[in-house]
Amino acid sequence: MVRHWWQSERGSQIVQLALVVPIMLLLLYGYFEVWRVMQARDALQEGVFQAVLYFSTYGYDEPAKALRPEAWDVAREIIAENVRGTGIVDEEDLAGLELYITYDPAQLECDDLFTIEAVLPLTLHFTPLARKMTLRERRVGTYQCEPPAFDLEVQWPLDGYVGYPGEVRFYPNCYTSPVRIQVRVKSNGVLHYESPWFAAPCAQLVVHVFPPVPSGGWEITVCARGARSELPVCAEAVRGSCP
């Protein structure tokens, strides 16, 4: 009788397991789809935010009193890049990304309002939820006819630093992200080191390492340029000497 009871109990556990496991898998897959939708929505929101910043700064051609033809495509690519970066949106869905920019052509002046709306189709693969849904994000901006300058705050080394500097730490405070940065080092008036242009995030501490300079006076210059435009380069120089 004990053996019969044990076999019955074991069979009951197997049946329970067979019922519970599929439900747990369905729940986990459902949670994944919900997380995927939330990630895609957040990426779309951030992409539209960046597109508005870009279009505010570079979308309006003041001398021509018109929108720049290429600004529309660049704004769409900014959103697409941001969504693509999540790695969870199908390329087929991404190809269906639509961008609408609304403005009043009769009042195309500095500080006028415009609206960017992005529409992204998203395919849900989870069988109980399998369908096409649409994500929308809409933001309002204004045309900035005089783009704000970059503010480069060098953290280290400081002016008058005595020693052999081998790195520079700085904050690039700017309107769009990322920017392109170049570091130049002069020693005794001669260019000792010049880095290639590299991407750096806005409002974050950047550390760039370079070969130590020879003894004598030196000067470090950090230059910045908009990654998606040709804004004037701004520079911040620190000077010092080493034994």
More confident residue, 175 or 90: 90
pTM: 0.56
- Beta-strand pair 131-142/151-156: unpaired
pLDDT category at 6 given cuts 50, 70, 90 is very low
Compute CA distances 149 → 57, 67, 89, 179, 229, whole Å.
11, 21, 35, 12, 13
Q: Which amino acid is at 95?
A: A
Which residues does 13 contact at the CB level (< 8 Å), separation at least 6? none
Name the phi and psi angles at 20, rounded to 5: -80, -40
Domain boundaries, the chain: 2-142, 151-242
What pLDDT score does 133 carry? 82
Mean pLDDT, residues 106-128 taken together: 80
Percent of the chain at pLDDT > 90 equals: 14
**Alpha-carbon span 111 to 104, nearest angstrom:** 12
Class for the domain spanning 151-242: mainly beta
What pLDDT score does 108 carry? 77
